[in-house]
Amino acid sequence: MKRIGVFTSGGDAPGMNACIRAVVRTAHFHKKQVIGILHGFDGMIKGQMVPLGPNDVSNIIHRGGTILKTARSKEFMTAVGMRKAYENLKRHDIDGLIAIGGDGTFKGCVEFNQKFKMPFIGIPGTIDNDLFGTDFTLGFDTAVNTTLEAIDKIKDTAASHDRLFFIEVMGRDTGYIALYTGIASGADEILLPETKTDIGSLVKLLKHRQKQGKSSIVIVAEGDEAGGALKTAAKVKEKLPEMDTRITILGHIQRGGSPTANDRILAARLGVAATESLLNGQSGKMAGMINNQLAFTSFEKACKARSPLDRDLLRITEMMTT
Ligand code: F6P
């Protein structure tokens, strides 16, 4: 293998740039060339490729987003799209790929590999932390810290006005961001897609806190089965119309920003491991960290298996929320 391609795909996540840097510099260390593919699978189809040397990735380690841009490509999932992508990769003499993204990205890699036998290694990059085969995904730690800073600020104003706040955080299918930020901010209730939301007991709790003259913070994961913050707040408002309630949807602020030290180090470890394993002939696997040790998981398993919420943390929330 002489030349590898690297791309980012799906939702961007802080730490992707640090990871691109690690891939490029590891390949250079082993005297291999790297081509950066722009806009994920879309750029592969359109032939948007640029050579990347060690100097091209200078001064990006601290930047959020992805210098390679990202996209979600429908065309790639068609036979014609995949063929075009393969021909462009061959035109650039690319004989192996590093994909930084989430489960949608890895599903695309599995199909592509089945058709064209193109070796792939994946790196988990998503703020949602929802991939099986790694304790943490790139961007999750940064997203948690960004979200926490925002919640702390909302707590100040909530307490000053004795108000009830519903704060919606990202997590379409999983409550990892909600769980971590809920515990770290000392939230009064945390609503997660993985657990049943009981509006009746939420109302009881909020009433009790109101009687004590306390403000309340409820963290809602966007994918909670009772609906996001807007729907949940409306249901509570029906029962507690007199309560002074506000809603904040934090949204895409959670996806941006400079990566934390943890995310940069994770990016370096996974970038080096993924590149070296690809150069050593591995394929079809995602590099991850389990119990602070490198671990490789097949794409099939990383996509299919669910990453369950930490039971210990769930138990803690029961005791910490009053
Ligand atoms: O990056 C993951 C995620 O943040 C989800 O939690 C969220 O639902 C989704 O991306 C939104 O992404 P977009 O606006 O790019 O479709």
* Whether 144 and 163 share a structural domain: yes
Average pLDDT over residues 158-182: 97
- 202: Cβ below 6 Å to ligand 1? no
* pLDDT band at residue 306 under the 50/70/90 scheme: confident
Please tell me the distance from the alpha carbon of residue 47 to that of residue 214, in angstroms, as a whole number.
58
Looking at residue 83, its pLDDT comes to 97
The answer to whether residue 76 is domain-embedded is: yes
Whether residue 193 is found in the same domain as residue 64: no
Predicted pLDDT of residue 319: 92
- Tell whether the model's pLDDT for residue 147 goes beyond 80: yes
Cα 172 to middle of ligand 1, angstroms: 7
Pocket test for ligand 1, best of 103, 128, 169, 176 (most atoms within 8 A of CB): 128
User: Catalytic residue among 103, 128, 141, 224, which?
Assistant: 128
Residue 314 inside a domain? The answer is: no
Q: Is 312 a domain residue?
A: no
Mean pLDDT, range 141-154, rounded to an integer: 98
3-state secondary structure of 95: coil
Domain membership of residue 84 as a residue range: 3-139+259-304
pLDDT digits (tens, 9 = 90+) for 194-227: 999 999 999 999 999 999 999 999 999 999 999 9
The CATH number of whichever domain residue 193 belongs to comes to 3.40.50.460
In a domain, 316, yes or no: no
Q: How high is the mean pLDDT of the chain?
A: 96
Assess contact for 138 and 266: CB atoms under 8 A.
yes
212 & 160 share domain: yes
Assess whether 310 carries a catalytic annotation: no
For residue 72, pLDDT beyond 80? yes
pLDDT in tens, 15-48: 999 999 999 999 999 999 999 999 999 999 999 9
CATH number where 20 lies: 3.40.50.450
* pLDDT (0 to 100) of residue 321: 78
Q: What is the pLDDT of residue 322?
A: 65
Selection from 68, 126, 74 nearest residue 97 by Cα = 68
Report the share of the chain in percent with pLDDT over 90.
95
* Domain endpoint, select from 214, 233, 251: 251
Buried-exposed string 100-127: b where 16+ CB fall within 10 A, e elsewhere: bbbbbbbbbbbebbeeeebbbbbbbbbb
The pLDDT tens digits of the residues spanning 273-287 come to 999 999 999 999 999
What Rg do the C-alpha atoms of the chain give, in angstroms?
22
Mean pLDDT of 245-268: 98
Question: Which residue minimizes the CA distance to atom 8 of ligand 1?
Answer: 172
Sheet of 189-191, strands arranged across: 189-191, 216-221, 164-169, 245-249
Q: What is the pTM of this model?
A: 0.97
